Structure 1
Amino acid sequence: MRMQVVALFLSSTALCTVAAPQALADSAPATAFAGCGGVPEDLDGGGWYATAGGAVNMRSGASTGCPVKGVTYQGQALDYHCFANPLADDDWNWTYARNVSTGFEGWIRNDLLSDHGSKVKCR
């Protein structure tokens, strides 16, 4: 009985070890900087822009699943860095921006920006 339990434990551990790297590979973001905590280069040399309406969350990554780092409000100037494709299954790209008034930086979904965000793709 003891040998069967040890063998069962070892076989189930081996299955987890083999399966885990594939699961991580499937969920890996297309670009590392767009993941939660990633910060891209400032590639957009354009001017300063304002958000659309109300309060807009600035997130640590290009997904609503990433933590909020700050908030920007209508009329506050934003310095765009670049845009990235979404990490999740939604139809919007995300722009990384710095709020000139508060200094907060983060990812904002393009549909929440009055001009739909940066036109320069992140590398």
Structure 2
Amino acid sequence: MNTITRVAVAVAAVAVPAVLLSAPAGAAPKGDGVTPQHWACGSGTPPNHDPISGITGANAGARIRTGSSTSCTALGSSQPSDRLDYYCYTRENGTNATWTYLRNGRTGVRGWTRDDQLPGGGSNYFCGS
């Protein structure tokens, strides 16, 4: 294999994963200037904008809460083997932390989990219209 061919193969190997990890069409990538608002404790179910379901790998004991804040009541928690259905994300008041609304397929519990506890960093679809 000549030098030009080796360089082309190396560039292709690096470029493909970047494409696979990009946000899906229609998603609002976090940090794109969109400012999703905090979801108050107990304020209801947001829209299901995210087609991702059946994802596993949450941190053990990741709490599912009634709103996008640690001050909201915990309804349950998820385990690494639990299948999760993502709905959308929002931001916690006064911080840069993002939260995803989800449904835990094992327990049926629906609520908010901080994105740093979720596989893939949570949803890429914000909860606004």
TM-score, normalised on structure 1? 0.68
Aligned residues with identical type, % of pairs: 32
Q: 1:38-77: per-residue Cα shift (whole Å, max 9, x none)?
A: 2201111123212433111100000000000111111101
- Structure 1 residue 101, shift from structure 2 partner: 0.8
1:104 and 1:86 map into 2 onto residues whose CA distance is 20
- Structure 1 residue 32, shift from structure 2 partner: 7.6
Would you say how many aligned residue pairs link Structure 1 and Structure 2?
93
**Superposition pairs of residues 1-123 of structure 1, within 5 angstroms:** 34-38=39-43, 39-87=45-93, 89-123=94-128
Measured on the aligned residues, the alpha-carbon RMSD in Å equals: 1.9
- Structure 1 residue 90, shift from structure 2 partner: 3.1
Which residue identity lines up with residue 54 of structure 1 in the other structure? A
Name the one with the larger helix percent. 1
Are the structure 2 counterparts of residues 107 and 51 from structure 1 closer, same or farther at C-alpha, using a change threshold of 3 Å? farther
2:78 and 2:99 map into 1 onto residues whose CA distance is 15
TM-score, normalised on structure 2? 0.65
Are the structure 2 counterparts of residues 33 and 53 from structure 1 closer, same or farther at C-alpha, using a change threshold of 3 Å? closer
- Structure 1 residue 85, shift from structure 2 partner: 1.0
Select the structure of larger CA radius of gyration. 1
Unaligned runs of 5+ in 2: 1-34
Unaligned runs of 5+ in 1: 1-29
List structure 1 segments (4+ residues) > 2 angstroms apart after TM superposition.
30-33
